[in-house]
Amino acid sequence: MTHPERSRDSLPSLTGDLLHGSLSAWADSPKDAFEVWMDSRRLADSSRVVYRSQWAGFIQYLDTHGVGFDRVDSTLIRTYLEGTDLKLEQRERIHRLIERAFNAITSTHVAATNPAASAAVARRHSWRLAERNDDTDFLDESDHKSAIDWIGSAQAPQVKRPSANSGVSRGRAPRAWVFSRNRAACAVLLSGGLKPSELRELAVNEVYCSSQQGQGTGSASNDIQRRLLEVESSEDSSSVEVTSADVIPAVNEEYCSDSGATLELILLVRGTSTTRERRLRLPAYASEALTRWMIMLRATAPGAGADGFPLFPRGTAGGQLSVRSVEYLVEGFFEGFARQGDADDSRITPQLLRNSFAADLFARGLPREDVQERMGYFLDDSALRLHTAWRIATGRSE
């Protein structure tokens, strides 16, 4: 089936089924529906040009093979990606774009599945082997600051839904809820250097107010819920003031709010099979984002006051995110963010945020042993490799 190009002026309506992501609307006009989807994401013009080209290639493939959009399955997507002459990392980006587009459709249908999500392309393993996926890559100081600004200023996509209370009626968390969770998760990843497997394991009772740490609280329970009630009842709950004990402030520490103080938060990060247990004090912007999120979580999730309830649950009923979901939410939250020094690949990943946390510590002059401890490394090899990459990239000597 051929889908003729339509000018934006000829679109009949951008507020009906297209905006709601109905499958029939995408099948009738996949290019127009994709334009509406990009509008809803508030993408930069440069990103729109790239995405539009990638999407057009996929639609052309469907047209050439006579496959209707409503008949796309995981096998077809896999065949398309593996049959291109593109490099592995380029196929990865196209795969992610197709997955996001189909996610806009499946999010409006509880029983629907995303064919791109189940396409067996061995994407995660092969991506790690790609030449450009350097596990020592990190944001430079300018991009690091821009990422912090992005976390503080990003706005939730404003996309209308067919029903007034669609999040509840479909059993899905509202967009504002998901956005607040994702913002806080990204702030924690950038400011604490957590791995996705560590983030998904965090529980609400593993967040502490800094004043509690001086009291030698060894148990998992804390009074964070009571403190959040105090914050919520105050006139302004968005500002956090952190006093840094370091002589040289890190990029993470330079952010400060304009108003009075609320909470300074500390995370207890449980050890995994590959990382050590550690406690991390969050800088102001991350404490602020996490405070806002925990207020929302406490108000919307019935079980959020219980020890062990996930700090970043899959939904209001609880449940842990998968590692893949963490990767997905990071890429989605930073969609449109452009790294100044890397125009070819501006993807933001959990690994990149983790490495940037370590690079920031090196820039402050912390010895490698301290960075190793804060990153949770068991062995020094990882810290040494990252430190070497940081020195080469910044022109620093030993």
CA dihedral 137, 142, 147, 153 (to 10 degrees): -170
Weakly modelled stretches of the chain, pLDDT under 70: 1-22, 89, 107-112, 118-135, 157-173, 211-262, 341-346, 397-398
Which CATH number fits the domain 23-128, given the four candidates 1.10.12, 1.10.3480, 1.10.3470, 1.10.150? 1.10.150
Burial class (CB in 10 A: 0-12, 13-18, 19+), 225: middle
Please say whether the beta carbons of 170 and 110 come within 8 A: yes
3-state SS, residue 352: helix
Segments making up each domain of the chain, as ranges: 23-128, 141-156+175-212+261-394
d(CA 95, CA 57): 12
Identify the bridge partners of residue 269 per DSSP, sorted by sequence position.
278
d(CA 164, CA 173): 14
What does 37-56 look like in DSSP terms, one character per residue? Answer: HHHHHT--HHHHHHHHHHHH
Report long-range pairs for 239-243 (Cβ below 8 Å, ≥24 apart): 239/288, 240/264, 240/284, 240/285, 240/287, 240/288, 240/291, 241/284, 242/281, 242/283, 242/284, 242/287
Q: In terms of Cα–Cα distance, which of 222, 272, 280, 227 is closest to 378?
A: 272
- Name residue 92's amino acid: E
What pLDDT score was predicted for residue 116? 75
CA dihedral (264, 268, 269, 275) positive or negative: positive
What pLDDT score was predicted for residue 163? 42
Q: In terms of Cα–Cα distance, which of 335, 380, 350, 301 is closest to 197?
A: 350
Q: Diameter of the chain by CA atoms? A: 69
Q: Which fold has domain 141-156+175-212+261-394?
A: hpI Integrase; Chain A (1.10.443)
Cβ count near 398 (within 10 Å): 5
d(CA 246, CA 253): 9
Please say whether the beta carbons of 105 and 23 come within 8 A: yes
317-344 pLDDT per residue, tens: 999 999 989 998 998 899 888 887 654 5
Structure tokens at 59: 């639609």
Please say whether the beta carbons of 31 and 73 come within 8 A: no
For tokens 């700090």, the residue is 311
Structure tokens at 210: 């800094």
Q: How far is CA 9 from CA 5, 32, 95, 96, 174, in A?
A: 12, 11, 29, 29, 31
What pLDDT score was predicted for residue 237? 34
Please say whether the beta carbons of 250 and 360 come within 8 A: yes
What pLDDT score was predicted for residue 216? 46
What pLDDT score was predicted for residue 129? 42
d(CA 264, CA 79): 50
d(CA 266, CA 355): 20
